Amino acid sequence: MADISRTLTLNRASIEDAHKLTKPHIHLTPVLTSTTLSDLASTPQAPEALNGTENEGRRPARPKVKLFFKCENYQRAGAFKSRGAFHALTRLSREELKKGVVTHSSGNHAQALALAARTYEIPAYIVMPTISTPSKIAATKGYGAEVIFSGSTSQEREAVVEEVIKKTGATLVPPYDHPNIVLGQGTMGLELESQVADMIAANPSIGIHANAQAEHDGVNGVNGVNGHSRKRTELDAVITPCGGGGMLSGNAIAFSDTDTLVFGAEPSFEGADDARRGLAANSRIETVKTLTIADGLRTPVGKIPWSIISDKDKVRGIYSVSEEQIKKAMRLVMERMKVFVEPSAVVGLAVCLYNEEFRSLVEENAGEEGWNLGVVLSGGNTTLEAVSKLFQVSEDNAERAEGVLGRDGERVAENVAG
């Protein structure tokens, strides 16, 4: 990859520059709203849902939010990763491009870099863990990349990458730990800010601050951290998934000069919440080995993203959720919003719905008025077969859910107009 000393400064202006370069290659993904999900996120959890947690016996939080979903599952190659991959290639020299590119990825960055390489008509060598989702392996090969398999830890993957570089001279395009990747991922933040502003301008009632809009007119900025002026936006906060940290840190930079607060979300299964634990210990955790269903987040935060994420002025906090909570959020997005997503995509929503610490923070900071909250749905690279396994139920329950059993338990033919 390009020498870090030759890369742009990690600031909003650099993200704006990255956006100009990548616009011809990426989609302007939609921002969707859901009254149902906003209402659910604004409803206190049942007291029994807190049993067995540190919040047992406490009054459930009563946050008030309007959710705005940035749907990166509709991005090219099915996930946000195309932003960083295309930006990285725009920064390579002709000589570097000729020798091709190499990376290690569990799937989404693999597909994104393979697509970008095909666009530039250069070779792509992708190192993938043997536990990668089969559909992601197939898609990566479908874009014309050569796939090489490795172990599942970042150290095992990086060792194979080094072998490929020695053999081919290809340039490493890491999945998250490079300024050009971080800046590319941050372009979604610029879009989200602009899209939500346009949506609320066209229909103020969809925002939480409709009644306070007159007070905002003519106000260009607010006092931020350390007294610095920050640009006022319609978004009070944004939450993104966090794996290697490229997306979270990129969004943190994009919103760093605004009054929008940025949060991260992780799965907790088998220590996948390394960023949250690292913040608590004030030290980056370098190794993660987990089989969380959120397979795109099975990696530790990189050094460069960590330098942003560990800055409390840029990222206000990271929260984690269980596998069951991820599945519940995924079901809601698919059944209520009719949007096809992978498990990694919904960890931010799961935090909004089920993480009591985060929900209490929103209630405390947003007060009676509430927050406009941006939620990044990071990707949709999964299959019907994989989804069906996640939600597999007994035959009896499945039949009843489909209405093929009568009220008295008798098997009947369903012939009711829908």
**Cα(first)–Cα(last) distance of the chain, in Å?**
55
At 215 the pLDDT is 42
418 confidence band (pLDDT: 50, 70, 90): low
Contact by Cβ (8 Å): 115, 76: yes
At 409 the pLDDT is 54
Name the more confident of 131 and 73. 73
Name the more confident of 263 and 104. 263
117-142 pLDDT, tens digit per residue, is 999 999 999 999 888 878 889 999 99
Name the 3-class secondary structure at 252: helix
Distance CA(275)–CA(319), nearest Å, equals 9
Distance CA(360)–CA(253), nearest Å, equals 25
242-259 pLDDT, tens digit per residue, is 999 999 999 999 999 999
Catalytic residues, which ones? 81, 106
What value does the mean pLDDT of the chain take? 90
1-10 pLDDT, tens digit per residue, is 555 556 789 9
Torsion angles phi and psi, residue 392, rounded to 5: -65, 135
144-200 pLDDT, tens digit per residue, is 999 999 998 778 988 999 999 999 999 999 999 999 999 999 999 999 999 999 999
Q: Can you give the length of the chain in residues?
A: 418
Q: How many CB atoms lie within 10 A of CB 251?
A: 34
361-383 pLDDT, tens digit per residue, is 999 999 999 999 999 999 999 99
Does the structure show a pLDDT above 80 at 288?
A: yes
306-362 pLDDT, tens digit per residue, is 999 999 999 999 999 999 999 999 999 999 999 999 999 999 999 999 999 999 999
Residue 28 CA from chain centroid, whole number: 16
At 214 the pLDDT is 38
Strands 221-223 and 229-231: antiparallel
Does the structure show a pLDDT above 70 at 411?
A: no
At 415 the pLDDT is 47
Torsion of CA 297, 300, 302, 305, to 10 degrees: 60
C-alpha closest to that of 248 among 226, 278, 218:
278
At 227 the pLDDT is 47
